[in-house]
Chains A and B, each alone.
Chain A
């Protein structure tokens, strides 16, 4: 079973048609969350961090758990921490010893971003 594309010229129509097809909805954003104890979890699911902003106390350990069928890599924007590739159901933990806001992302899917607020 085949489909052939043979191109011998431009077509504005094609560009417009593709544009029409690509009108989409933004995925909804996960809300923030607050945790007091020394352990807190961020779930990585459907290419999003849940919650995308997590507030923890100083000396808290944050664990990221990958629930996707695709690996992800947790990396802080400033290079402070970076996990190995996390396959499905694998996790990565990092302990935050200083107050501050730590922005991080998935280094292979950089549209995935999150924040840990340490108070």
Chain B
């Protein structure tokens, strides 16, 4: 069922005008940052966002800086079990994501899955995803989406993916000097509210980062965006700001979320917020449809609106480079 008639993303890349020939497209700014357009590279340096058409000589600059850092991939919202017109083949698109990962020139060290692994929390759905993701030969870290904890308060999710973790499945780990924190904000949601972390998790988080040097790069990942994108559709986390207050002193914080099935990015001080593509189906832009449900897009466009996020950390730099790669 198509719940939206409005489909206004620019499928042809983002940079349309570069009159000053400096790679900065002032009119294309908004599109560059906002949507999962393709074929462009956005670079923010000293508060200035520069965008280059992908494949231009400038676009390759950050790539050469990657060596000696850390590369990982984020995938999200695979919704295994979903079979509606918005994507009757979520197996096929998840496999396509695995192929994309395996074809990355710089192989990621591990993968983050930011939830909605399954559509209905069925064990077979989790089994299928596990089987397909084995094709990457990579270690995978999961946090649950609301679709993964439907009928048992997340018991099955914890048994499968978070056995030795805290509370409802939150945890941290360190890789190459980067501190990763997986949070759970899909449990015990209150009527009328947004995503919720809860006091127990917040206390754990405050304690978890207490001993870290402020120069430690932090990556926080959770299903529902920790920043408020569109509260009318529940796209935000009640106590997300509280969580971020514990991270204020850190020079580099990257927050990776899923849930909204489209890429979006915001930078606030030292914090970069980013949401990933789904590998399963598209959801409308905030407020652009009667509700946030699955949106049917033309079949030949679907894979350009699904994808994954490739993240590169360069040692000695505060920057983490986030590359949204579509399945097209």
Contacts from A to B (Cβ < 8 Å): 1-15, 17-18, 20-22, 24-27, 46-48, 68-71, 73, 77, 84-85, 87-88, 103-105, 107-111, 113
Give 6 pairs: A residue, B residue, CB < 8 Å, sorted on A: A3-B41, A27-B290, A69-B84, A73-B150, A105-B192, A110-B189
Contact A107 B189 (CB under 8 A): yes
Task: Report whether A108 and B189 are in contact in the complex, using a CB–CB cutoff of 8 Å.
Answer: yes
Q: Evaluate contact between A3 and B286: CB separation under 8 angstroms.
A: no
Say whether A11 contacts B267, CB under 8 Å.
Answer: yes
Report yes or no: B234 in contact with A110, Cβ–Cβ below 8 A. yes
Which among B1, B268, B274, B328 is the interface contact of A10 at CB below 8 angstroms? Answer: B268
The chain B residue sitting closest to A75, CB to CB, is B191
Flag B128-150 by CB within 8 Å of A: 1 or 0 each. Answer: 00000000000000000011001
Asked if A7 meets B54 with Cβ closer than 8 Å, knowing A14-B33, A27-B232, A47-B293, the reply is no
Taking each of B36, B42, B44, B121, which has the highest tally of chain A beta carbons within 10 Å of its own beta carbon?
B44
Contact B293 A17 (CB under 8 A): no
Interface centre among B37, B150, B269, B320, by most A CB within 10 Å?
B150
What is the chain A residue whose CB lies nearest that of B228? A22
Are the CB atoms of A4 and B193 closer together than 8 Å?
no
Contacts of B166 in A (CB 8 A): none
Besides A70-B294, A111-B234, 6 other A-B contacts (C-beta < 8 A): A4-B42, A8-B319, A14-B44, A21-B30, A47-B233, A71-B147
On whether the beta carbons of A24 and B292 are closer than 8 Å, the reply is no
User: Is B266 a contact of A5 with CB atoms below 8 Å?
Assistant: no
Residues from chain A with Cβ under 8 Å of B304 in the complex:
1
Known contacts A3-B263, A10-B268, A11-B48; is-contact A17 B30 (Cβ 8 Å): yes
Task: Give the distance in Å from the alpha carbon of A2 to the alpha carbon of B263 in the complex.
Answer: 12
Known: A10-B47, A47-B291. A2 touches B321 (CB 8 A): no
Q: Which residue of A lies closest to B186 (CB)?
A: A108
B3 contacts chain A at the CB level, 8 A cutoff: yes
Q: A18-B266, A27-B290 are in contact. Are A3 and B231 (CB under 8 A)?
A: no
